[in-house]
Amino acid sequence: MAKETAPALRITRLNKTYPGVHALRDVSLTIERGVVHAIVGENGAGKSTLMKVVAGAIAQDGGSIDVFGRPLEPGSPTRSSDAGVATIYQELTIVPEMSVLANVLLGHLPSTWGVIHRTVALEQFYRVAAVVGFTHPAAQRAGELSTAAQQLVEIMRALARGGRVVIMDEPTASLGPADVRRLHRVIDTLRTAGHSIVYVSHDLDDVLEISDTVTVMREGAIVTTKSASEWTKSSLIYAMLGGVSLETPVAAATTGTGNTPLLEVLGLRAPGVSIDRIAIRPGEIVGLAGLVGSGRSRLLRALAGADVVDSGQLLVAGRRITWPRTPHAALAAGICFAPEDRKLQALVLERTSAWNVALGQFGVAGIMRPVRESVLRSWARAFTQLVGLPEHRLANPAGTLSGGNQQKLIVSRLLSRRAKVVLLDEPTRGIDIGAKAQIFQAARRIVDGGRAIIWASSDLTEIVEHSDRIVVVANGRVVGELPRGSTVHDILTLSYAASGTGESAAA
């Protein structure tokens, strides 16, 4: 095939195996020129491994990759970049202390004998900035930019390096609606200019809106590839999960009707938070919703003893307690917390999954030092099976699990504890739709036992669908409450009215 007419990317019978895991199974896939080609699947389906092989971060065990008709040498990020492949990871690689210009041309600043040609560098910068509509000064520190603007810097870097195949890994995970629309406009511009976009995302509505073609992966293999117009959200889910039901139990009509609140907050004052009163009743799932910087996470962290509190009163099951100054004190008071950053703040990645479930409660598990893994696995199994974590994963280090399975570990830990109130910060970020369903089922199981959950999410549709009541937060204050059956529009109306803008992104 002539190189001028060859597809942007041709993947042929790729295989990749890790100890005990066949990550890629004879994967063959063609990405045409000038299209947005989405790849979807559950956590652990093989999407990330496939993208890492194409990017040269890891080498395949077998199979081949051609980029614009030329064979790609495996296991070399430099060769992949030289071939025209650029990857923008979910965890952005911005150097915050460097200027935007230096970040865009990182490693490729035009120079002679160590002397940088600033005029040439600025010409290159403004050329790619014009393509994506970037308006910030070249000299501005990258760390001062919003997440959405930093993502544009990553795209500019890809273009400056000659990237014609751009891989985007969960590009909208940290963006609100307004920023997602702006990103879509940039992607449309790149597509029109002939770039091929490989779009990896768990947001199926987003995938169907922006993509030309969608490929579904499951258990390391390609299930099928179709035009986006041939898919619906339901058919995508069916293909991803093989027909597994995603029905989530609904709350009973009597949810949250107890007379005494399980948790009551009065006069909370903390950095970025000023709450006069919040009350949560037994059997209730209460969603915290708001715009970027609304104070949702700060509120949860204050309740969990993870952040400093200036003043406030806290009542648990009607009993006034001293405001917890540490997460350990909060747990002793009956409040447990799952933070947003599961890798840095919730898990010990080098330890086994079973060890992480039992973390902090080895005595409750009846385990004496030294810790015996067999006893840990036996004890943890009762809780992990409730969230659908495969039993064989209990012996694996937590760091080797997919994001969805890592989140299941955290929820399993919460299920094992006797806490009355459970706080969840972004529990579904970056995980697939099947794992989300199992986590929501576990959440309902928790409150059906008479406990309560307060959770925050940047996905307002999830907040609406899975909350018994919604507390809308803006500028660190409660600006309204909405009953079950409310809409995303209702949340945004309250949020925009309180923030005085219609341009902020919901998150």
Q: Is the pLDDT of residue 177 over 60?
A: yes
User: From the CB of residue 92, how many other CB atoms can be counted at a distance below 10 Å?
Assistant: 14
Backbone angles phi, psi at 488, to 5 degrees: -60, -40
pLDDT classification of 429: cutoffs 50, 70, 90: confident
- Of the listed ranges 66-75, 153-162, 225-234, 251-260, the one predicted with least confidence: 251-260
Question: Token pair of 473, please?
Answer: 């937060």
Q: Is the pLDDT of residue 291 over 70?
A: yes
pLDDT over threshold 60, residue 304: yes
Residue 389 has pLDDT above 90, yes or no: no
Instruction: Give Cα 267 distance to the centre of its chain.
Output: 32
Least confident of 72-86, 88-102, 166-180, 276-290: 166-180
Residue 505 pLDDT > 50: no
Given pLDDT bands bounded at 50, 70 and 90, which one contains residue 433?
Answer: confident
Under 8 Å between Cβ of 223 and 199: no
Q: At residue 164, what is the residue type?
A: R
Tell me which of 147 and 427 has the higher pLDDT: 427
Q: Calculate mean pLDDT across residues 183-193.
A: 92
Average pLDDT over residues 280-300: 90
Cα gap 98→102, rounded to integer Å: 6
Of residues 101 and 432, the one with the higher pLDDT is: 101
Percent of the chain with pLDDT over 70: 92
Q: What percent of the chain has pLDDT over 90?
A: 46
Asked whether 59 and 53 are in contact (CB, 8 A), the reply is yes
Looking at residue 504, what is its pLDDT? 38
Six token digits for residue 158: 């890809």
pLDDT at 488: 87
Contact between residue 30 and residue 8 where contact means Cβ atoms under 8 Å apart: no
Residues 242-272: pLDDT tens digits?
765 555 555 544 455 557 899 999 999 998 8
Q: How far is CA 223 from CA 229, 389, 447, in A?
A: 17, 22, 37
Q: Which of 34-43, 120-129, 174-183, 409-418 has the lowest mean pLDDT?
A: 174-183
Q: Which amino acid is at 264?
A: E
pLDDT band, very low/low/confident/very high, at 502 (cuts 50, 70, 90): very low
pLDDT at 501: 44
Lowest mean pLDDT among 93-107, 228-242, 348-362, 429-443: 429-443
Mean pLDDT (the chain, rounded): 86
> Does residue 217 surpass a pLDDT of 60?
yes
Specify the pLDDT at position 365: 54
Mean local confidence (pLDDT), 15-42? 91
Residue 205: band (very low, low, confident or very high) from pLDDT cuts 50, 70, 90: confident
- pTM, full prediction: 0.64
Find the mean pLDDT for residues 158-180. Answer: 84
Residue 446 predicted with pLDDT over 70: yes
pLDDT for the residue numbered 35: 97
Q: In this predicted model, what pLDDT tens digit does every residue of 90-111 receive, in sequence order?
A: 777 889 899 999 999 987 777 7
Which residues, 6 or more positions from 169, have their beta carbon under 8 angstroms from its beta carbon? 48, 51, 87, 88, 89, 90, 200
Say which range, 313-317, 392-396, 500-504, has the weakest mean pLDDT. Answer: 500-504
Instruction: Check pLDDT > 80 for residue 431.
Output: no
The pLDDT of 261-290, averaged and rounded, is 93
Burial of 9 (0-12, 13-18, 19+ CB in 10 A): buried
Q: How far is CA 38 from CA 276, 294, 454, in A?
A: 45, 32, 33
Give the confidence band of 59 by pLDDT, cuts at 50, 70, 90. Answer: very high
**Predicted pLDDT at 20:** 67
3-state secondary structure of 75: coil
3-class DSSP state of 273? strand
- Domains of the chain and any CATH numbers: 9-241 (3.40.50.300), 344-402 (no CATH)
Contacts of 328 (CB under 8 A, 6+ apart): 305
Interval 313-354: pLDDT, tens: 999 999 999 999 999 899 899 999 988 888 888 899 999 999
Q: Please determine, for residue 120, whether its predicted confidence score (pLDDT) is greater than 80.
A: yes
Q: What is the CA radius of gyration of the chain?
A: 24
What's the whole-number mean pLDDT along residues 387-407? 85
What's residue 460's pLDDT? 87
CA 233 to chain centre: 19
- Checking if the pLDDT of 478 tops 90, the result is yes
